[in-house]
Amino acid sequence: MKVMTIVGTRPEIIRLARVIARLDATPGVDHVLVHTGQNYDRQLNQVFFDDLDLRAPDHYLGVDTSSLGSVLGGVLVETEKVLVAERPDAVLVLGDTNSCIAALMAKRMKVPTYHMEAGNRSFDENVPEETNRRFVDHVADFNLAYTEHARRNLLAEGLHPRRVIVTGSPMREVLEHFRDRIDASAIRDKLGLQQRGYFLVSAHREENVDSPDRLHRLLDCLNRVRDAFGLPVIVSTHPRTRKRLDTFEVESDDGIRWLEPFGFHDYNKLQLEAACVLSDSGTISEESSILGFPAVTLRDSIERPEALDTGSIIMTGLNPDDVVRATGLVMSATETPSVPAGYHLDDTSLRVVRYIASTAGRHRDWAGLRA
C-alpha cells in the first residue's frame, strides 16, 4: 500500500512527526512524503525536520507564495503532478492550512483522502483557517478527529458516522518521544534567563498581526504584562509577524526581546520553564495541557473548546486588562487542571496507520465508485 502524506507548515510537521515515522517503519507501506513549500523557511521547517528526526521529503512542490491565489492554485497544480507520478493508494493531510487544499485534487482523482485534526470549529469567520477546516472535512473521504467535541461537529454537519473516527491528539506521543531532548536543552541558560523569570510569547495569526490596530493592541498587552509582573518578555518571532512589524513601523519598548523562531526542543524547554506562555498558536491548548505549564491564549475564539472545558487554558483576546488578569490567575494556580479527553493518548500514530490500512481498500465500494 502506498500512502502519501502532504505537509506545508511547521504545525503539520510537528503533529505528524510520529505518524510519518510509523508510516516509514511499517512493513508493507510505501510512504511518500510531500512538502508543498507553503511556509518554507529554515527556522520554520528544516530545523523541525532535524529536531524531529524526519527524513527529507520525497517531493518538494515549491508553490508560489506571493499571494493567496498563487498558493491555492499552486498547491492544486503541483499536487496533481505528484499524484500522477506516484499513484498512491491513500493521501493524508492534517489541519487547516492552505496546503490541506491538496485533498481536493486527491479526491477528484478518486484517491482515498484522510484528514487528521478534522472537526475543529471556532465558529469565527474572522479566522481564515475556519474556511479551510470546513472545506477539507467535507472533501475528505475519512475524517480523523482528536476529540468527541470534534466528532460531534462533523456529525452535526451531516457527515456519515462511517467517515469519522476519534484518534486522539498526536501531541502527547510527539512530546513524550522527545521529552529527554527537550529537558536537555540549554536554551534558557544561553539566553540568560531565570527559571520562572520570563514570559514566552508566540503570536503570528493573520487576525492578530495583519491589522495595524490589532498588532498595536498585541504590543500593548505585552507591555502591560511586563510592567505588571516585572519580568522580561521573550518573543519567538514568526517571519509573518516580523514582516508586519517592519511594514507597520511598530516599535516596542525595552524588556521585549524579538528573537528568531526557536527549534522544537528549545521552544518547548522555554515553555516548560516560563512564568507563563502567551500565545495564539493552535497547539498551545495541547502543549500546556500535556506538559502542565501556565498559558494564556491571545485569541477571541478557539477551535479546541476541550481545553476551556478542563480549565487548562484561559482565553483573553487582545484586551490588555484581560490579559494581565488571566496571566496573574494562571501563575498563581496551585492545582494542575486535568488533561482533556483525547489529549492523553500515546498511540495515536498506531491508530492512524491501522485506520488507513483498514479503510483505504474499501473506499471504492463504500463510496459507490464505478470501476
Contact yes or no for 303/134 (Cβ under 8 A):
no
The string of pLDDT tens digits covering residues 68-118 is 999 999 999 999 999 999 999 999 999 999 999 999 999 999 999 999 999
CATH topology of domain 2-168+345-367: Rossmann fold (3.40.50)
Predicted local confidence at residue 190, as pLDDT:
98
Q: What is the pLDDT along the chain (371 residues), one digit of tens a residue?
A: 999 999 999 899 999 999 999 999 999 999 999 999 887 665 556 788 999 999 999 999 999 988 999 999 999 999 999 999 999 999 999 999 999 999 999 999 999 999 999 999 999 998 999 999 999 999 999 999 999 999 999 999 999 999 999 999 999 999 999 999 999 999 999 999 999 999 999 999 988 898 899 999 999 999 999 999 999 999 998 888 888 988 888 777 788 999 999 999 999 999 999 999 999 998 999 999 999 999 999 999 999 999 999 998 999 999 999 999 999 999 999 888 889 999 999 999 999 999 999 999 888 787 777 65
Q: Quote the distance between the C-alpha of residue 101 and its chain's center.
A: 16
Q: What percent of the chain has pLDDT over 90?
A: 81
- Determine contact, residues 27/55, Cβ cutoff 8 Å: no
3-state secondary structure of 108: helix
Top-tier CATH class for 187-332: alpha beta
Domain residue ranges in the chain: 2-168+345-367, 187-332
Residues 287, 171 contacting (CB under 8 angstroms): yes
Task: Write down the catalytic residue from 35, 59, 204, 265.
Answer: 204
Q: Is 35 a catalytic residue?
A: no
* Neighbour order of strands in the sheet with 199-202: 256-259, 233-236, 199-202, 276-279, 295-297, 314-315
